[in-house]
Amino acid sequence: MALASPAATPGDLRAAFDGSRALVTGGLGLIGSALARRLVELGASVTIIDASLPESGANLRNIESIRERVQLALVDVRCTDQLPELLRGHDYLFNLAAQVSHVASMSDPITDLDINCRAQLTLLEACRRVNPGAVIVFASTRQIYGRPEYLPVDERHPLCPVDVNGVNKMAGEAFHVVYSNAFGLKTSALRLTNTYGPGMRIKDARQTFVGIWLRNIIEGRPIEIWGGMQKRDFTYVEDVAEAFLLAATCPQAQAHAFNLGGDRVVSLLELAEMLIATNGAGQYLVRDFPEERQRIDIGDYYADDGQFRQLTGWRPRVTLERGLERTLAYFRANFHHYV
């Protein structure tokens, strides 16, 4: 089993992953489960670590199609005594375990610190001791940029998070880069924008506002938009999973962090109209921001991800219209598993 070339294409991925051992932290969530399914398809032996916390996006339904083909460890990444044995012997580590709620990070900053910062350092230190040869890709976030000074945001943009979650994710990303530069670990990071798709948390707005919009549409309730003119980019979950695989198979990505964006930029109002059109019915209401969200809102954001595209050949393949269509169809068929 050998790494793909720096300019790997999706067609090269089977050669990279067939027969390999891959570990996915946060593997019951939206992105982790999509990544696990794709790894199984490519012939990898997959182990999932997930604490399955009730406030997370973890859902066993997300791995129903591969449940008999993966190893599942219901372990919290904060449980340091169990990490070394779980990490041992894997070729790849896709590190997606996180606390993702920005509002929760402000009301419970210590938990956010423990998961997004302290646990990341612990995991890297365990890798350095028991599996220093593993290739590691970390799920970072656009939130570390804060309110953009210019658009589109590229990797040279200053890092100035507006909430505790952004600060801790910034530290978690920096630990991965430091451990690559100082200790030779093969780490890279992807700074994700709004990821959506089948398997996301829809019971509330804790993971992303798109989730609660989907629930409201399906239940026949209005979408509530705060502000509405903010511009955003959105990445379909299967495209994000492919980006993680390409990052892992690209040695030139190591010790670097890259933006990941979507196929286009839309306002929140435009997104709501697209979702209603896809559904064939629905309505939205425009509201003022709740105070606790207004103070940590970043305004307009969309990414310049040209560095990652040039290095790996990645590009989003699922249009926003098609992605919304697939996502809505999935939740109509599986609604009771997610609410």
Residue numbers of the domain that contains 123: 10-197+234-264+302-317
pLDDT of residue 308: 98
In a domain, residue 204? The reply is: no
User: What does the pLDDT look like over 12-61, one tens digit per residue?
Assistant: 899 999 999 999 999 999 999 999 999 999 999 999 999 999 989 999 99
**CATH number, domain containing residue 164:** 3.40.50.720
Residue 3: per-residue pLDDT? 37
Asked, for residue 313, whether it belongs to a domain, the answer is yes
Residue stretches of the chain with pLDDT short of 70? 1-11, 292
Q: What is the per-residue pLDDT for 208?
A: 87
- Here the tokens at position 105 are 């990070």
Q: Can you list the positions of beta strands (E) in 78-196? A: 92-95, 135-141, 186-192, 194-196
Strand partners, 210: none
Is 219 within a domain? Answer: no
Count structural domains, the chain. 1
31 contacts: CB under 8 Å, gap ≥ 6: 96, 139, 192, 195, 237, 240, 241, 244
Instruction: Give me 272's structure tokens.
Output: 């709501």
Tell me the sheet residues that pair with 239.
none
**Residues 261, 319: contact at Cβ < 8 Å?**
no
User: Does residue 5 fall inside a structural domain?
Assistant: no
SS3 282: coil
pLDDT for 4 equals: 40
Q: Is residue 322 situated within a structural domain?
A: no
Residue 97 counted as domain residue: yes
The one-character DSSP state at 67 is G
With respect to residue 329, please indicate whether it lies within any of the assigned structural domains. Answer: no
The answer to whether residue 167 sits within a structural domain is yes
